[in-house]
Amino acid sequence: MLLSIYSAAFANNRLHYVQPAETWTQALPLGNGRMGVMVFGGIETETLVVSELTLWSGEYNAKQNKPFGKERLDSLRQLFFNGNIAEGNRIAGENLIGDTQTFGSNVPFGNIKIAFDHPEGKISGYERELNIENAVQTVRYSVGKINYRREYFASNPAQIVAARFLSDKPQSVSLRISLDLLREAEIQTIDNQMIIKGKVHFPKHGAGGVNFCAVVAVKIRNGKIQSDNQTIEVKNADVAELYFDLRTDYKNPDYEKTCMQTIEKAFSSGYETLKNEHIADYFRLFNRVELSLGQDIYGHLPTDIRQQQMKNGVSDPALVALFFQYARYLLIAASRENSPLPANLQGIWNDNLACNMRWTNDYHLDINTQQNYWLANVGNLPECNIPLFNYIRDLSEQGEATAREVYGCRGWTAHTTANAWGYTAPSASIVWGLFPTAGSWIASHLGTHFRFTRDTAFLQTTAYPLLKGNAQFLLDYLTEDPSSGYLMTGPSISPENWFTYQGENFVASMMPTCDRALVYEILSSTLQASRILNVDAAFADSLQTALNKLPPYQLRANGGLREWFDDYEEAEPNHRHTSHLLGLYPFSQITTEQTPGWAQAATITLQNKLSLPGWEDTEWSRANLICFFARLKQAENAYKNVVALITGNARENLMTVSPQGIAGAPSDIFAFDGNIAGAAGIAEMLLQSYNEQVYYLPALPKEWENGYFKGLCVEGGKTVDLYWENGEIMQISH
């Protein structure tokens, strides 16, 4: 059995379809860590939807912080301690907000359109495929007796997007390239190149925007090229190749020169060289992990058919394995060592929907950006974290002013909404924006990365300085509750939820449970780093003193875990956020082994929430459930949510969406977090490591009774290979 499973593990690492995409959520993604392209695979007209990480509206806002200060903060806290929640929320709502006038959003570039001039004939044999082993897309079909083929890839080494169009009959490739832009630009076409220059103007989210330059270049064998101001036309070629680059002046004053040189270098290198370099670069990351959850019975079927079968109750464990590896593909495509920014709400693939929402296509630090990276360490892709750590460093620099001006504290902090311009202040509303431990949550990834890699150089030069800065903020920000003696944060929120007090609904309180989890995590990680590096002994002692004075987790009257320090009723009990369960996952403060009582309280919390009508089912909340139930060792509950994520929260291209109606969305909107966090949850079902313990197959459902994985990572810098049959472990190696 193991041999047959092993031989099939990589056999069907592909998404494939027998018809072109008609919508964005049917198209297939490519990415080189900076540019994202959605390929539709049309027969008569191809559409390539182009995005780029630094294509942002908005600009740096030196007035983002609304000064408040320590003295006023102390007075405000006294209102909460005295039970005057209404007045406390009023004052916080008027003062603990930031200036978001130039916040901006990541925006899409637009479409490259390629119209094909085919001979008369019947179209047959259509197939399009994304091979996630080599990150190359292909489209195949026949017109009469002529067989056509296209290839597409996005290269990180060459920093270009490349395409090749060919057939098995000489001089039968004829096409016309044009642009359908979403940005205002000047287009100049010279021979085989189309040069696009412009400036982002997107006033919906404020003034400002980057300058950009893009080049579409075409190379042919035989045939002719002709152009005008708007198109490049190829006639009767044997082969046509397209090369594309897009650059902005975000931290790159030489962006135009860079763009031109990238295209020139691609031309001189040649398509085959570029493709081989791309595959070698990608495969060194992707091939670190293998996963089989059973024989691939349905791998010959189109991916959308398999998804529909699963929705109708057909068990397809190989589709789950494909979904897992697809998430690794997406993370590699979206976040590389040289990426100028981390993956945003939509990774690097902008559907022109999120940027038009009030929440923009930005960095939400109250779970979404964190989920984008949950897979990196366990999925053996630690390098993909580097853009995130660079971004945290940028946040820390701007966040020092926020800590000082808003709260009168040392160190640095950031709040719920962040952008490319260093926005760290509270948002325009306390309902979602008054979350000063959002910076702590994103900083916690530094400690996680060290626990997995044991990279002491990283700890010394990157992690510890950033953790220490956030810990300094927390030490100054914490205040003693005069009634209990506990140290507390606040006023702050439990994202993005409301509670009821004396017949009214409020958001702000002292020490919501998520804050307790985050403060504990940062202070503990900083303390551990201090001791490992043997530095800052007095500071370490102050961390331990503060840890000893934090309140414990508390139970509600119904046996669930409290979301707030006091046992408030939820104003929206079916709300999508469950931030009070952070201690369960991604942290390990609540475990079935060491704190079974709190684990049971977490179970009750989940049962109560999921039993309510109208629970807000989103891609990220569904992925969250997989992780929660895996940590609770509840295999079948975790599996049910895996199936629900793939069949209900993902669309035909298996990219996850925030569904129509949630948070005001007028339609389904792609969100990167569901893919990555969902895959992290699948990994948790197979392998867990925390608190210096490793758990093998901790939440294995009966549907995956035979299988194996290779290369998944655990804390301590080790990888694990594991084989099982009939639910029993047969072999483990490290």
Q: Closest Cα to residue 416, out of 405, 426, 403?
A: 426
Helix (H) or strand (E) holding 41: none
- Inform me whether the pLDDT recorded for 473 exceeds 60: yes
| Alpha helices per DSSP H over 250-355 | 255-269, 271-286, 303-311, 317-334
Flag whether 680 is in a domain.
no
Residue 235 lies in a domain: yes
Phi and psi (nearest 5°) for 466? Answer: -75, -40
Q: Say if 566 falls within a structural domain.
A: yes
User: Is residue 338 in some structural domain?
Assistant: no
Closest to 479 in 3D by CA, of 546, 411, 526, 430 = 546
Give yes or no for residue 661 having a pLDDT over 90. no
| Mean pLDDT, rounded, for 305-319 | 98
CB 585 within 8 Å of CB 631: yes
Q: Which CATH number does the domain housing residue 220 bear?
A: 2.70.98.50
Q: Which residues make Cβ contacts (< 8 Å) with residue 718, sequence separation at least 6?
A: 734
Query: Sign of the C-alpha dihedral, residues 114, 115, 121, 123?
Result: positive
Find out whether 497 and 579 touch, Cβ atoms under 8 Å. yes
Query: Is residue 157 reached through a cis peptide bond, with omega within 30 degrees of 0 on the bond before it?
Result: no
Q: What is the 3-state secondary structure (H, E, C) of 347-371?
A: ECCCCCCHHHCCCCCCEECCCHHHH
Buried-state track 460-494, b at ≥16 Cβ within 10 A, e below 16: eebbbebbbbbbbbbbbbbbebeeeebbbbbbbbb
Q: Higher model confidence: residue 660 or residue 140?
A: 140
Instruction: Give the whole-angstrom CA distance, residue 655 versus residue 132.
Output: 14
Residue ending a domain, choose from 254, 286, 318: 286
Q: Of the candidates 82, 86, 147, which has an alpha carbon nearest to the alpha carbon of residue 118?
A: 147
Average pLDDT, the chain: 96
Q: Give yes or no for residue 9 having a pLDDT over 60.
A: no
> Where a domain ends, among 286, 308, 330?
286
Whether residue 47 is found in the same domain as residue 168 = yes
Tokens of 625: 């459930």
Share of the chain above pLDDT 70, in %: 99
Residue 186 has a pLDDT of: 97
Same-domain check for residues 245 and 392 = no
pLDDT at 434: 98
- Residues 70, 404 contacting (CB under 8 angstroms): no
Q: Closest Cα to residue 218, out of 244, 242, 237, 239?
A: 242
Tell me how far apart the alpha carbons of residues 444 and 441 are, in angstroms, rounded to a whole number.
5
Calpha distance 415→515 (Å, rounded): 12
Boundary of a domain, candidates 286, 302, 327: 286
- How far apart (Å, rounded) are the C-alpha atoms in residues 668 and 499? 28
For the chain, the C-alpha Rg in angstroms (whole number) is: 26
Taking the C-alpha atoms of residue 48 and residue 214, their distance in angstroms, rounded to an integer, is 14
User: Do the Cβ atoms of 179 and 113 come closer than 8 Å?
Assistant: yes
Distance of alpha carbon 41 from alpha carbon 59, whole angstroms: 36
Q: Computed from CA positions of residues 570, 573, 577, 583, in that sequence, does the dihedral angle turn out positive or negative?
A: positive
CB proximity list for 190: less than 8 A, separation 6 or greater: 227
| Three-point CA angle 366, 371, 372, nearest 5° | 115
Closest-CA residue to 297 (of 282, 315, 323, 278) = 315
The answer to whether 114 and 45 have CB atoms below 8 angstroms apart is yes
Q: For residue 708, what is the enclosing H or E element?
A: strand 707-714
In Å, what is the CA distance from 691 to each residue of 452, 587, 695?
A: 12, 10, 11
CA distances from 558 to 73, 129, 402, 600, 611 (A): 33, 51, 39, 12, 14
Q: Is residue 414 part of a domain?
A: yes
In the numeric block, which tokens belong to residue 300?
A: 């010959």
Are residue 266 and residue 202 in the same domain, yes or no?
A: yes
Q: Say what the pLDDT of residue 485 is.
A: 97
SS3 579: helix
pLDDT over 50 at 8, yes or no: no
- Which of these, 110, 63, 55, lies nearest to 420 by C-alpha position? 55
Residues 134 and 208 in one domain: yes
State the pLDDT at residue 715. Answer: 98
Contact 328, 373 (CB under 8 A): no
Helix %, strand %, coil % of the chain (to 5): 35, 25, 40
Neighbours of 611 (CB within 10 A): 10
* Spatial CA neighbour of 107 closest among 3, 183, 32: 183
256 in a domain, yes or no? yes
Q: Does residue 720 lie within any of the structural domains?
A: no
Burial of 122 (0-12, 13-18, 19+ CB in 10 A): exposed
Q: Please state, in angstroms and rounded to a whole number, the distance separating the CA atoms of residues 281 and 382.
A: 15
Torsion, Cα of 532, 533, 538, 541 (10° steps): -20
**H helices present in 593-710, as ranges:** 596-610, 619-631, 635-648, 672-686
The C-alpha atoms of residue 143 and residue 148 are separated, in whole angstroms, by: 8
Question: Could you tell me what percent of the chain has a pLDDT over 90?
Answer: 96
Residues 279 and 131 in one domain: yes
- Which residue is listed with tokens 């669309």? 651
Residue 92 and residue 202 in one domain: no
Segment 624-646 shows an average pLDDT of 98
Q: Count how many Cα atoms sit within 13 Å of the Cα of residue 78 in the half-sphere of its side chain.
A: 6
Q: Are residues 471 and 521 in the same domain?
A: yes
**Are 112 and 94 part of one and the same domain?**
no
Rounded CA-CA distance 427/123 in Å is 54
Q: What's the domain range around 138?
A: 32-56+108-286
- CB burial of residue 7 (10 Å; 0-12, 13-18, 19+): exposed
Same domain for 120 and 88, yes or no, is no
Confidence (pLDDT) at 614: 84
Give the up-direction half-sphere exposure of residue 119: CA atoms within 13 A in the CB hemisphere: 15
Looking at the DSSP bridge assignments, the partners of residue 731 are: 723
Same domain, residue pair 143 and 246: yes
Residue 154 and residue 83 share a domain = no
Place of tokens 């002692």: 541
What pLDDT does residue 615 have? 86
Tens of pLDDT along 343-388?
A: 999 999 999 999 999 999 999 999 999 999 999 999 999 999 999 9
**For residue 11, what pLDDT is reported?**
53
Q: What residue has token string 């092993």?
A: 6
Q: 441 lies in a domain?
A: yes
Query: Average pLDDT in the 238-246 region?
Result: 98
Q: Where are the beta strands (DSSP E) in 356-420?
A: 363-364, 417-418
Those residues whose C-beta lies under 8 Å from the C-beta of residue 511, and which sit 6 or more positions away, are: 481, 486, 488, 489, 490, 551, 564, 565
**Same domain membership, residue 80 and residue 168:** no
* CATH label of the domain that carries residue 552: 1.50.10.10
Helix axes 537-548, 464-477, angle to 10 degrees: 50
Q: Provide the number of structural domains found in the chain.
A: 2
